[in-house]
Amino acid sequence: MAYSVLLASSAERQLKAFAEATQKRIVKRLKTLQHNPRPQGVKKLSGEDDLYRIREGTYQIIYTIHNKELIVLVVKIADRKEVCR
């Protein structure tokens, strides 16, 4: 089963703020979540119920998985330094 990858409006704005080459790398990484929402290297965020993160270079992609609806919802895309704050 393929999941639908959706971006929250805030994540979409964050993605558009990056350079075009960075956008392409992140979008390519997001497309891999369609077939495997928990790829190798995924981390479940401690203290949060259903938030996961994956890295693409120095950027982190924070998302939640809705298994019943087959949806991956991306809530934040930011540089690693900004996510840790």
Residue 1 has pLDDT above 90, yes or no: no
> For the whole model, what pTM was predicted?
0.89
Residue 82 has pLDDT above 80, yes or no: no
Instruction: Give the pLDDT band (50/70/90) at residue 77.
Output: very high
> How confident is the model at residue 47, as a pLDDT?
82
Mean pLDDT of 36-61: 90
| Domains located in the chain, CATH noted | 4-83 (3.30.2310.20)
CA within 13 Å, CB half, 50: 10
**Average pLDDT score over the chain:** 91
Residue 84 has pLDDT above 70, yes or no: no
Query: Any bridge partners for residue 57, and if so which?
Result: none
Contacts 24+ apart (CB under 8 A), 62-69: 63/33, 63/37, 65/3, 65/37, 65/38
DSSP E strands, 1-85: 4-7, 43-44, 51-56, 59-66, 71-79
Q: Which two tokens stand for residue 11?
A: 């994540």
